[in-house]
Structure 1
Amino acid sequence: MKQYDYLVVGAGLFGAVFARQAADAGKKVLVIDKRDHIAGNVYTEQVEGIHVHRYGAHIFHTNNKTVWDYITRFAEFNRFTNSPVANYKGELYSLPFNMYTFNKIWGVVTPEEAAAKIEEQRQEAGITEPHNLEEQAISLVGKDIYEKLIKGYTQKQWGRPCTELPAFIIKRLPVRLTFDNNYFNALYQGIPVGGYTQMVANLLDGIEVQLGVDYLADKEKLAATAERVVYTGAIDAYFNYTLGTLQYRSVRFETETLD
């Protein structure tokens, strides 16, 4: 008889939620992670009294009340609203694209004027079948918005020119003809007051967790301990890169503590 019903590889959000659900259903679960901490990429740590998101900022958002009711069992959330500002050559623009953005770019003040301006630029471009991301973006929102608020960010994010990126990456772009700076169109959103690490710790309460354990380094032995394995790691690594390495894009973090 196997030692566990489930071996969960990865102590991030999915792994922790699955482990919680399985444990609540009476299953015996072991969670392992090759890192030295739980919470995966939403891991937060205390630095100078601040909750720092080590792997980049994360904002929880959903329109699903069942999801919200579930996750708030494990954390209290603040009322954080994500309202980004883009800096283009010293000029500040609201994101996502909304009436504040259009007013700053074109001086328009009504939704009708903004919609007409976007349509005018789309018609001028005359793109009917976009062949790359640049053409796709211009065909959706026009040249002005593309040049100022899409091109530079996208090329930095993907590490290659927009003309070399496939059109399907941008199927649609959120255009709001209202004065609403909320980036997420979600009813529920926020960040856990105690940080994501504490939230995941609450999810994993009473469940066996082993850190610093690399599943892929000893796959057969670890898999033999459980009836089922739930793997949440990199998919190309799982198959030993037999189909090559996926072109993941990430960011390089440079941190410093200021007075």
Structure 2
Amino acid sequence: MPRARLSTFPLDHALLASKTTVNRDVHLFHTPNKVVWDYLNRFTAFTDYRHRVFTSYKGQAYMMPINLGTICQFFGRRMSPDEARALIAEQAGELAGHDPQNLEEKAISLIGRPLYEAFIRGYTAKQWQTDPRELPASIITRLPVRYTFDNRYFNDTYEGLPVDGYTAIFERMLDHERIEVRTGIDYFEIREQIPAGTPVVYTGPIDRYFGYRAGELKWRTIDFEEEVLDVGDFQGTSVMNYADEDIPYTRILEFRHFNPERNYQTEKTVITREYSRFAERRDEPYYPINTAQDKETYRAYRELADAEENVIFGGRLGTYRYLDMHQAIGAALKCFEGEVKQAVCV
């Protein structure tokens, strides 16, 4: 299940004339999958929000992901798409004919060394605290590179934010006579009370389930620093990344820009700075690091999971995968039609 950190925040003095919900960890829903989109629309309507991100580097704001506008601005001249492609191909020449094996090599092959050094290397150092040569190439392939001036962050057909927030979605989803919800309960404190043979869908950390017997999987977590500022608009966009290594936070979110259709006050705004660090056991894990050692450790847990009867491991934590929300929902729907329905609908 997607993990959402939501809080009711009294914004009479800060943003709105009434109370609203602030997403400290904002989930921007996007998907190419019509089945997933139609399923969620049973429980909510979506705004027409389209995500756009900027990156601050040496005092300048650049469009992100890297596109023709980013390239022209960074190199200080206007280029056609073909000219930009030729320039990037030249700057990525050190990897010509080489199959990229890690994040650094993949990034350089996509955008060349100068853009990598400016926008990726420093940000990666803060976000992952791991040598980019030890991180999987798949992390960087999540971001498109465009030779047009299109600065939409996502390419997906469907995109938006739920009108009433994610809490309302799950309240409606769980509002069924055959569903009982209990919160604030640690599964590991009650697992022995569950009758033998009862099917369980486990979406917690897979290493914790098995008592860390094969070692701990490494995760990144985020610390949030929220502030109310005495300005109507702090940064002019919802997300500003910070690529410079000497700036300790990875990005700043400004919530008013996620819902421009709302009637915000003009003299105050709420921002959140994000600080990334290694997760400890007491923390909420966000991003699997997935080094070669992590992959080896996960393989050991996967073997244990395959041998576990009546337990389905799912979600980002249960499968040690970097899943977007739409991927998690799609996997859950597929799992229900297969393993879950077979286990419980008999």
Q: Which residue of 1 aligns with 2:208?
A: 237
Q: How does 1:192-207 map to 2 (within 5 A)?
A: 192-206=162-176, 207=179
> Is the 1:42–1:196 Cα contact (8 Å) retained in structure 2?
yes
Note the C-alpha offset of 1:173. 5.1
2:7 equivalent to 1:45: yes
Q: How does 1:2-13 map to 2 (within 5 A)?
A: 12-13=1-2
Note the C-alpha offset of 1:164. 4.3
CA distance in 2, matches of 1:125, 1:228: 49
Going from structure 1 to structure 2, the CA distance change for 1:76 and 1:101 (only over 3 Å counts) comes to same
Q: Which residue of 2 aligns with 1:128?
A: 98
> Is the 2:110–2:145 Cα contact (8 Å) retained in structure 1?
no
Note the C-alpha offset of 1:217. 1.9
Q: How does 1:208-227 map to 2 (within 5 A)?
A: 208-221=180-193, 223-224=194-195, 227=198
Report which structure shows greater RCO (CA 8 Å, sep ≥6).
Answer: 1
| 77-86 or 158-167, which deviates more | 158-167
Q: Which runs of 5+ in 2 are unaligned?
A: 12-18, 231-346
2:118 equivalent to 1:143: no
The alignment covers a number of residue pairs equal to 219
| Secondary structure at 2:201 match in 1 | strand
CA distance in 2, matches of 1:112, 1:152: 28
CA distance in 2, matches of 1:57, 1:197: 12
> Is the 1:43–1:196 Cα contact (8 Å) retained in structure 2?
no
> Is the 1:74–1:202 Cα contact (8 Å) retained in structure 2?
yes
Going from structure 1 to structure 2, the CA distance change for 1:172 and 1:210 (only over 3 Å counts) comes to closer
| Secondary structure at 2:83 match in 1 | helix
Q: How does 1:20-35 map to 2 (within 5 A)?
A: none
| Secondary structure at 2:56 match in 1 | strand
2:38 equivalent to 1:78: no
CA distance in 2, matches of 1:104, 1:203: 46
Deviations 1:137-170 (A, max 9, x none): 2122101210111111111111123244355544
Q: Which runs of 5+ in 1 are unaligned?
A: 1-11, 14-40
Note the C-alpha offset of 1:42. 1.5
What RMSD in Å do the two structures reach over aligned CA positions?
2.2
Note the C-alpha offset of 1:65. 1.3
Identity among equivalent pairs (%) = 46
CA distance in 2, matches of 1:136, 1:92: 24
Q: Which residue of 1 aligns with 2:256?
A: none
Deviations 1:209-228 (A, max 9, x none): 0011111122121x318731
Going from structure 1 to structure 2, the CA distance change for 1:123 and 1:230 (only over 3 Å counts) comes to same
2:143 equivalent to 1:181: no
Note the C-alpha offset of 1:189. 0.6
2:50 equivalent to 1:88: no
Going from structure 1 to structure 2, the CA distance change for 1:168 and 1:193 (only over 3 Å counts) comes to closer
| Secondary structure at 1:150 match in 2 | helix
Note the C-alpha offset of 1:44. 2.3
The equivalent position to 2:84 in structure 1, one of 108, 114, 118, is: 114
Q: Could you tell me the TM-score, scaled by structure 1's length?
A: 0.77
CA distance in 1, matches of 2:94, 2:161: 43
> Is the 2:49–2:160 Cα contact (8 Å) retained in structure 1?
yes
Note the C-alpha offset of 1:92. 1.1
**1:44 counterpart letter in structure 2:** L
| Secondary structure at 1:85 match in 2 | strand
| Secondary structure at 1:79 match in 2 | coil
Deviations 1:39-81 (A, max 9, x none): xx22423212342124x11111111112111101101111111
CA distance in 2, matches of 1:78, 1:172: 24
Q: Which residue of 1 aligns with 2:340?
A: none
CA distance in 2, matches of 1:99, 1:174: 12
Note the C-alpha offset of 1:247. 0.3
**1:46 counterpart letter in structure 2:** T
> Is the 1:60–1:189 Cα contact (8 Å) retained in structure 2?
yes
> Is the 1:87–1:93 Cα contact (8 Å) retained in structure 2?
yes
CA distance in 2, matches of 1:62, 1:137: 24
CA distance in 1, matches of 2:86, 2:79: 12
Q: Could you tell me the TM-score, scaled by structure 2's length?
A: 0.59
Q: Which residue of 2 aligns with 1:101?
A: 70
